[in-house]
Amino acid sequence: MQLNDPVRSILQRKHGEVWTITPHASVYEAMAMMSDRNIGALLVMEEGLLAGIISERDYARNIALKGKSSRETEVREIMRTPVTVTPDHTVDQCMALMTGERVRHLPVIEGGAVIGVISIGDLVNWIISSHEDTIKHLHSYIAGSYPA
């Protein structure tokens, strides 16, 4: 596991479930789905195409703080245009993109279709595993049991 590994490697380790909602669903339905699935964002899909993304942060900023009703507001009213990546983007590129764009979820697009979603948690876990592998190799090297 390295920082220059492609996102495809992360997707292969995930369950592959992509949770979606339509733009005409209520924000309440979106929040209930996120709660039920223990996730922080949903892709907004319309006619099989990625139309946007809605997150818990969008709810907090655009519904709760503005005193709107989540049952009466449609997802399309608060969804954002997603920042997307391809399966060939590297872990490092995705981390830089998330930091620069201040997003926590990146839909992964291949051939115009959504094939997965990468979260900041996925990237952090990948990086931690990469560091653990490096430490393990260094310990082996210092102990003299590192393969030549």
Return the amino acid letter for 73. Answer: T
Q: Give the rounded percent of residues in the chain with a pLDDT score beyond 70.
A: 87
On whether residue 2 sits in a domain, the answer given is: no
The stretch 1-10 carries a mean pLDDT of 81
On whether residue 1 sits in a domain, the answer given is: no
Q: Quick one: pLDDT at residue 101?
A: 96
Range of the domain at 69: 7-143
The stretch 18-38 carries a mean pLDDT of 97
Rounded Cα gap, residues 111 and 66, in angstroms: 38
Return the amino acid letter for 69. Answer: S
On whether residue 148 sits in a domain, the answer given is: no
Distance of CA 109 to the CA centre of its chain: 12
On whether residue 120 sits in a domain, the answer given is: yes
On whether residue 122 sits in a domain, the answer given is: yes
On whether residue 94 sits in a domain, the answer given is: yes
Using the 8-state DSSP alphabet, how is residue 5 labeled?
Answer: S
User: Which has more pLDDT, 147 or 73?
Assistant: 73
Check pLDDT > 70 for residue 85. yes
**What's the CATH number where 95 sits?**
3.10.580.10
Domain count for the chain, please give it: 1
Note the pLDDT tens digit of each residue in 48-65: 999 999 999 999 999 999
Q: What's the length of the chain?
A: 148
Rounded Cα gap, residues 140 and 76, in angstroms: 54
